[in-house]
Amino acid sequence: MSGTRSLLEYVDHLHEHFLHPSAIRAGYYVTPTEPGYSVEMKAASMDMYTFPGEPGVSWWHSDAARTILEGERF
């Protein structure tokens, strides 16, 4: 980032899946104080959403995922 005309994507609805989520305060991105790029995900989230995942653990084996996997039927 140069600080001029830079763009960052901030996805607040995913913060619960990260060990050190980023933050926005007063309209500015706040750099995390933990080492790294703030992209390390929690093990439970990785287990839940890794495809294809394990039956009984992964979201991909749920009824909610069925429409994505099988497609909508008209």
> Do 46 and 56 belong together in one domain?
yes
Residue ranges making up the domain that contains 71: 42-74
Place of tokens 């050190």: 20
- Concatenating the DSSP letter of every residue in 1-57 gives --SSS------GGGGGGBSS--EEETTEEEPPSSSS-S-PBPHHHHHHHSSS--TTT
Nearest to 21 by CA among 32, 29, 13: 32
Nearest to 58 by CA among 45, 74, 73: 45
Question: Model-level pTM greater than 0.95?
Answer: no
Higher pLDDT, 5 or 66: 66
Residue 2 lies in a domain: no
> Do 74 and 47 belong together in one domain?
yes
Residue pLDDT, tens place only, 22-60 = 888 888 878 778 887 778 899 999 999 999 989 989 999
Nearest to 23 by CA among 44, 38, 41: 38
